[in-house]
Amino acid sequence: MFKKVLILSASVGAGHLRAAEAVEKSFRLRQPNAEIKNVDVLNYTNPLFRRLYGKAYLEMVNTMPEVLGWMYDTLDKPWENERRRLALDRLNTLPFINLLKKEKPDLAICTHFLPSEIISWLKSKNKINFPQAIVVTDFDAHAMWLAHHYEQYFVALDETKIHLSKIGIPPEKIFVSGIPIDPIFAETKDKRAMREKFGLNREKLTILVSAGGFGVGNIEHLLQALSELGTPAQILAMCGRNEELKTKLEKLAAKKLNNERVDFKLIGYTREMDEYMSAADLIVGKPGGLTTSEALAKNLVFVIVNPIPGQEERNSDHLLERGCAIRCNNLPVLAYKIDELVKDEKRFSQMKANVANFARPHAASEIVNKLLSSNL
């Protein structure tokens, strides 16, 4: 039992934070009386570092994804470049280091590699002595996730465990849990009931698109491609907090996109993503670790479009290898590829079975159960 737990992440995209929230929620269900703090480490760094680490990453995703891919591959060299990176991170995370010394938790759980490397360094200098668990939030483990001082790794796949064990992480310290997602995604909700709830046609093919992740120009082209579907369909375009995008796409749908076969529904920020996913048959988008894990939990076949070079390319490989996805590299043929997939009922059914086999909807609770049963 842990009386005081720090869950540590970094707001570099939304996935790391969502993983931290999932672990926090599962921990609170198991240990309601524990003191649990969920901390965005970037709030304890200097403003310039915070901007470069967080906002610059998002800007690169939208404007220079090929550079991001190059950086991903260049830095993916196990146990190299760690001294230079650590020296830079130490200089810019002094408030975070002071927080760790002040809080002295019984356990730290890291869903981003920045806090895990700082904790590892502090442990090496005997400046802290509490255990840390590292939760990898993509299907592959990039070299930046590697640390020297830790008690437990949690990874998505058996393959990832083998990879880490081959480069020096003791296999007994690696637990295959899946990527932690909100426990609500493990709840079964009737597809037709969810469609009725949101005013959708109960029988039409339903496709969920994470619109906010594409950038305005790209999402317009994507939705235009989907409007050419021959299969009667309804498209759920999830715009998140971007109200400007939602308004723009609503106007576009009214003027150009809706037709006798395809209806578009533009959805802003929602806390009911699990129910929208429950209503859908397919998801079209980028395979980030958390989005992919949530979609798998809701039995959605993935149509991969424009994955970010690097981690999303790696995630794509795993989805395709497991028969859980198709990939479209050319938007003009997107409608054709989806039409062909759903027309082949045997293939579509097999892919759904593959998705069910690959899903790990209870990953967050598995992580918490493992930690509570261990002697860290």
Which pair of structure tokens corresponds to residue 317? 């490989």
Given the DSSP bridges, would you call strands 325-328 and 152-155 parallel, antiparallel or unpaired? unpaired
Tell me what the pLDDT averaged over the chain comes to.
Answer: 91
Take residue 207 and report the two structure tokens written for it: 């496709």
* Same domain? 188 vs 331: yes
The answer on 216 and 353 residing in a single domain is yes
Instruction: Report the relative pairing of strands 35-40 and 4-9 from DSSP bridges.
Output: parallel
pLDDT confidence bin for 83, thresholds 50/70/90:
confident
21 and 160 assigned to the same domain? yes
> Can you point out the beta strands (E) in the chain?
4-9, 35-40, 107-110, 132-135, 152-155, 174-176, 205-210, 233-240, 262-268, 282-285, 301-305, 325-328
Domain identity same for 52 and 97: yes
How many beta carbons lie within 10 A of that of residue 48, not counting itself? 9
> How many separate domains does the chain show?
2
Say how far apart CA 26 and CA 21 lie, in whole Å.
9
- Residue-wise pLDDT for 115-130, tens only, equals 999 999 999 999 999 9
> Can you tell me the distance from the alpha carbon of 118 to that of 87, in angstroms, rounded to the nearest whole number?
10
Q: pLDDT at position 240, please?
A: 82
pLDDT greater than 70 at residue 340: yes
> Based on the domain organization, do 121 and 217 belong to the same domain?
no
Q: What is the mean pLDDT of residues 167-194?
A: 97
Residues 21 and 157 occupy one common structural domain: yes
Same domain, 56 and 199: no
Q: What is the pLDDT of residue 212?
A: 60
Q: Virtual CA dihedral for 317, 319, 325, 329, nearest 10 degrees?
A: -20
Enclosing domain of residue 8: 4-181+361-373
What does the pLDDT average to over 90-117? 92
What integer is the mean pLDDT of 190-219?
86
Q: What is the mean pLDDT of residues 253-277?
A: 90
Are 10 and 40 in contact by the 8 Å Cβ rule? The answer is: yes
- pLDDT for 27 equals 95
For the cut 80, the answer to whether the pLDDT of residue 155 exceeds it is yes
* pLDDT, average across residues 38-53: 87
- What local confidence, expressed as pLDDT, does residue 56 receive? 67
**52 vs 149, residue with greater confidence:** 149
The pLDDT tens digits for 213-259 are 555 458 888 999 999 999 999 999 998 878 888 888 888 888 888 88
Distance from C-alpha of 76 to C-alpha of 228, rounded to nearest angstrom? 40
Q: Is the pLDDT of residue 182 over 80?
A: yes
Give CA–CA dist 275/278, Å, rounded. 5
Q: Answer yes or no: is pLDDT of 374 > 60.
A: yes
Per-residue pLDDT, 214: 56
Higher pLDDT, 65 or 270: 270
Calpha distance 242→30 (Å, rounded): 35
For residue 122, what are its two tokens?
């502090």
Q: What is the mean pLDDT of residues 146-167?
A: 97
Q: Are residues 124 and 213 in the same domain?
A: no
> Which pLDDT does position 87 carry in this prediction?
72
Nearest to 26 by CA among 371, 270, 376, 269: 371
Q: Verify that 279 and 329 share a domain, yes or no.
A: yes
Q: Are residues 204 and 168 in the same domain?
A: no
Is 348 in the same domain as 319?
yes
CATH of the domain at 315: 3.40.50.2000
Q: Tell me what pLDDT residue 213 has.
A: 58
Average pLDDT over residues 335-351: 97
Is the domain of 202 the same as that of 176?
A: no
Instruction: Single out the residue of 101, 115, 3, 109 nearest to residue 53, CA to CA.
Output: 115
Comparison of pLDDT for 368 and 47, the residue scoring more: 368
What SS3 state is found at 188? coil
For residue 356, the model assigns a pLDDT of: 97
In terms of Cα–Cα distance, which of 142, 164, 149, 157 is closest to 77? 142
pTM of the model: 0.92
